[in-house]
Amino acid sequence: MRMTILILEDEEPAARQLQQQLARTGLGATVPPVLRSVEKALVWLQVNPMPDLILSDIELLDGNVFSLYEQFPVSCPIIFTTAYDQFLLAAFRGNGIAYLLKPFSFEQLQGALDKYQLLRRSLTAAPAATSASLSAEVVRELHQVLRQGSQPQYKQRFSVRMPSGLYILQVAEVAYVQADEGVTFAVDGIGKRYPLSGTLTELERQLDPARFGRINRSELVNIAFIDRVESYFNNRLVVKLRGSAAMLTTSAAQTPEFRRWLEG
């Protein structure tokens, strides 16, 4: 069955992978459009027919996606594709909303789509049934969890596949995180690199922002490992790490935000 699908995703690699996975299913008649911000998604929904299905990340370029669903009454089912940890899953399950926790496999996506197909058939057979869309109450509940919650559940350790087996790396041991030629690495205090799953932006969302700050497009640094920060040319800064020869450099665009982050 051909259907129209909309993707809300701010990470280009994740969006491209999702388009490729959807192409394998054969569900879409065309390549699904990808929208990276709440603002663009709102405009698109206002001028286009409602899609059959939305695949939605939670954090977009300009904010939380639930602000979109508060502004526009979405009447189609939504499958969330999220890097958030377990504190949201109970809310999703309780309201029959499918979710995919990043990084997810093609098989997991296919399973969520199979669930959608069953739901679609049941609604077709029983038009009077309750809509599968997000109710205003559900949107408020999920948005409240994201904005306030109890406390954000930040990642405490990484499970790293190494040639010798599975290694557990504590987040507190990570001096910085670096994206290098399409692979994201955690680097510890002595310079050892550990390959991680997910993009740098996805990992940034999972790490405590009070401890890890972005210095440029490809690096996050742990404030516990910063020895000193020195001025550099073109409005940049050099970040020297404690007990390490590594020196990281901020980008000119990121320097103001990095300065604010340092001051807490």
Domains of the chain: 5-147 (3.40.50.2300), 157-262 (2.40.50.1020)
> pLDDT per position in the chain (264 positions), as tens?
578 899 999 888 889 999 999 988 887 667 899 999 999 999 999 999 999 889 988 888 888 888 888 888 888 888 888 766 543 554 454 333 567 777 788 888 888 888 777 766 665 554 444 444 455 555 555 555 445 444 456 888 888 888 887 888 999 999 999 999 889 999 999 999 999 988 898 899 889 999 999 999 999 999 999 999 999 988 899 999 988 888 899 999 999 999 999 987
**Residue 115: exposure state from Cβ atoms within 10 A (0-12, 13-18, ≥19):** middle
DSSP string, 95-134: TT--EEESS--HHHHHHHHHHHHHHHHHHHH-TTSPPSSP
